[in-house]
Amino acid sequence: MSGGAPDGGRPRVLGPTVDEQTRCIHYRSELDVIAIRFACCGEYYPCHLCHAEAADHPARPWPTGSDDERAVLCGVCGSELTVGEYLAVASCPACRAPFNPGCTLHRPFYFD
């Protein structure tokens, strides 16, 4: 699987992003500042719709027990959170940028 940046910098985010904080054409409010590394390919996308449009395979959520996988990118500061960290907070632990609380409605797309 891919994931992190090859040069040690910020990981690349695939799909139709509209700014450097990982907002996309589907979700672009002030609070839409995360990207998800998908379990199926190890690539970061801003949302499940971006993955559906840009990837050549169906999405697969992170299975139960993947809490230690670094799978969420804060688009504000570039920190990578584990699944467990992300699911336990409402904002980035590193920079305090608030996350969109509406994202919990999409949890089944990303995490079992």
pTM of the model: 0.91
Q: Is the dihedral of CA 85, 53, 41, 57 positive or negative?
A: positive
Residue showing tokens 């990982």: 22
State both tokens at 81: 């959170």
Return the pLDDT at 1: 42
> At 27, is the secondary structure helix, strand, or coil?
coil
DSSP class of residue 61 equals P
Give the residue extent of every domain in the chain: 1-112
Return the pLDDT at 2: 44
Strands 34-37 and 44-45 turn out to be antiparallel
Give the start-end residues of each E strand in 1-112: 34-37, 44-45, 70-74, 80-82
State both tokens at 73: 């990118």
Whether residue 49 has pLDDT greater than 80: yes
How remote is the C-alpha of 42 from its chain's centroid? 11
Q: Which of 78, 83, 111 is nearest to 95 (CA)?
A: 78
CA distance 18 to 70: 23
Return the pLDDT at 3: 52
Tell me the percentage of the chain whose pLDDT exceeds 70. 93
Return the pLDDT at 7: 56
Tell me the percentage of the chain whose pLDDT exceeds 90. 91
pLDDT digits (tens, 9 = 90+) for 50-96: 999 999 999 999 999 999 999 999 999 999 999 999 999 999 999 99
Return the pLDDT at 9: 86
